[in-house]
A and B are shown apart, each in its own frame.
Chain A
Amino acid sequence: MEVTFKVYRKDPEKDGKPGRSNYTIDIPEDATALDGLLKIRDELDGTLAFRASCARGYCGECTMRVNYKACFACTAKVSAFTKKAPEILLDPLRNVPVIKDLVFDWDAFMWNKIKALKPWLEPDESLSSGENLLPDSAMQDLRKVMSCYYCGLCDEGCTVLPVDFDFLGPAALTKAYRFAFDPRDKDGKERLKIAEQPKGIWDCVHCFEASEHCPRGIAPTERIMAVRDKAFKVGITNEKVARHHTSFANSVKESGWLDEGRLAIESEGLTNIKGLMKLLPTAAKAMARGKAPIPYLHPKRPGADKIKKIFQKGEQETK
């Protein structure tokens, strides 16, 4: 079949401006986008840059967007994308610094962020003299996480990265889970502190895009949430987040539901005059529209005492 490949181009050695090159080629019905790219490079344009390795959907090296959908070029059948017209669009991922054409900077995109989370085991050497043996069941959950092959699709789906490239992102934060929940790691609290660094777990909006994008079913969003829950349990070290979560929990614990006015004030900190002043313009506007919840004047829900008991039990169990 004859298909036109419309490929994103950018050459830093020329003007560095993004553009597109069109290549019309004849490929078999079952060809993949990667088959097409290889043919173009071999036969039409040796300057076209892209990455690929395993060619069987197992390494993530050829991650790109095909007709704006992020996938692996090596498993994306061209025929599935050319039903409307005999053409196919190939672009790099959205949230990446492009080096040339479809090749982007993996270090800046992901590896440097993973490195920031100290992705190595720090075993508690006082526990054993030789091997640190664990029952198979203790590693079952972590094995799932360790099956990640760093294709970057979760970071591609991330809602935060388009507004803040420095956010550590779901791939790296899932790595934080892998060590925070490893029973052989010596200091859980230290591990959580690393994950709580600026641009870390608390900057995640838990939108579940990462989980939806993950081709391995690792559920990165749920992993980040689990690390946050663990931090909540042992004590959050990010001060502002700690104030917010404590206020939220206290409000529900005491009244059964959320006192939003109280949450706004206590999240800033009752003695943080500058922070509280910042709330004033929005609060004044809300008050003028009759929609500013008055802090602390918050009636208890009828079942509040039962909710309080759930809190007390939950807190007791985690001790």
Chain B
Amino acid sequence: MKYAFYPGCVSRGGCPELYPSAVKVSAKLEIGLEELKDVGCTGAGVLPQYLSDPINARTFAKAEELGLPIMTICSTCQGVMSQANYRLKGDPEYRAKINQEYLSEEGLEYKGTTEVKHLLWVLFEDYGIERLKPLLRRPLKGLRVSPFYGCYIRRPPEAITPTKELNRRKNYLDELIEILGAECVDFSGKGKCCGFPILTANEENSLAMVGKHTGEAREKGADCMVTPCPLCHLNLDGNQPRAEAQEGKEIGLPILHLPQFLGLALGFDPGEMNLKRHIVATQTVESKVSMLA
């Protein structure tokens, strides 16, 4: 089982704790990763489509050459690439135009066969939960965890949940939390936006979203939140203190990356998962986890 690994910019930039956690967890699960190094940023929904589609087509062509599906660890990378792939796969004329105008000079051609899957989807759709269960060295019993998906791993439906069966993707994180032995603390904001995309354009609204979601999960009794999106993490963790100040309430909710959360259940120590690098202190999670050891 092997993937062309697309870690994304943030997993080594603003969230440097994510990349090594994902690599360690993948190795433990014997998921082979061949990192795509000579490819570009997806555009993250900031670059216009006329620039990001050719950049992503190039990434897909590189993975196609390797004969491997792509694995991401970022909901935003996943979403932007899924949307680009939906257009490129579904419209051969458009694909041919992108190939001819942007990729042919480099001798590349995207034939439209590359699959792009987030680690979360890989676990359910390729790896298999039954294969995962016996590997859990530390079921996270007693830990109360709220899921936070990030928009682009749930929508738009035509690119993300195109079939009735794949509609289950909307619930994978809830399911995984229970599978890893923790208690899933559901709340209304789990599929909403974290506010990160408008941090520049409207900081007040962005921080209000952070306060709303983390505050609600905290009120429902969550010990922490887990997210498959490092951009959500940047806002929900990194800007939580500012959101607390703006909204006038104490929250203090630790936010875990999906691979960190999975890693803890696989038996890694919090230190090995770099929990110390978070802005919001993770002691409550660490002490609960250490009691389970």
Give A residues with C-beta under 8 Å from B: 159-160, 162-164, 167, 202-209, 211-212, 219, 221-222, 225-226, 228-229, 232-233, 238, 240-241, 244-245, 248-249, 252, 256-261, 267, 281-282, 285-286, 289-291, 293, 301-304, 306-307, 309-311, 313-314, 317-318
Contacts and interface: CB of A to CB of B under 8 A. Distances in A.
A159 B46 contact: no
A229 B106 CA distance: 26
Q: With a 10 A CB-CB cut-off, give which of A208, A261, A267 has the most chain B CB atoms.
A: A208
B181 interface: no
Q: With a 10 A CB-CB cut-off, give which of B17, B43, B48 has the most chain A CB atoms.
A: B48
Nearest to A251: B41
Contacts of B276: 289
Contacts of A307: 40, 55, 58
Contacts of A249: 46-47, 51
Nearest to B239: A282
**SS class of chain A's interface: helix, strand, loop or mixed?**
helix
A258 B212 CA distance: 28
A258 B9 contact: yes
B15 interface: yes
A221 B37 CA distance: 31
B197 interface: yes
Contacts of A244: 46, 200-201
Contacts of B105: 309
B284 interface: no
Contacts, number: 166
B155 A208 contact: yes
A260 B192 contact: no
Nearest to A206: B45
Q: With a 10 A CB-CB cut-off, give which of B47, B54, B195, B204 has the most chain A CB atoms.
A: B47
A163 B212 contact: yes
A77 B47 CA distance: 43
Nearest to B51: A314
B192 A209 contact: yes
23 contacts: A160-B193, A164-B202, A202-B202, A205-B197, A207-B192, A219-B156, A222-B156, A225-B49, A226-B49, A229-B48, A241-B201, A244-B200, A248-B46, A249-B47, A257-B9, A258-B9, A260-B9, A301-B39, A303-B37, A303-B40, A303-B58, A310-B55, A310-B58
Given A159-B193, A252-B47, A203 B38 contact: no
A205 B156 contact: no
A164 B156 contact: no
A15 B41 CA distance: 56
Contact of A318 (B50, B192, B212): B50
Contacts of A314: 50-51, 54, 102
Interface string B214-254: 00000000000000000000000011011000000000000
Given A244-B200, A291-B16, A310-B51, 8 more contacts: A160-B198, A209-B151, A212-B157, A244-B201, A257-B40, A293-B14, A302-B38, A304-B40
A163 B155 contact: no
A245 B44 CA distance: 11
Contact of B205 (A163, A240, A245): A163
Interface in B70-85: none
A260 B55 contact: no
Contact of A207 (B106, B151, B157, B204): B151
A238 B201 CA distance: 9
B182 interface: no
A161 to B, nearest CB: 10
A208 B156 contact: yes
B101 interface: yes
Nearest to A222: B156
A202 B278 contact: no
A232 B37 contact: no
Interface string B6-42: 0001100111110000000000000000000111110
A83 B156 CA distance: 29
A307 B13 CA distance: 19
B209 interface: yes
Given A209-B192, A310-B102, A289 B279 contact: yes
A282 B106 contact: no
Contact of B41 (A212, A241, A256): A256
Nearest to A258: B9
Contacts of B193: 159-160, 205, 207, 209
B277 interface: yes
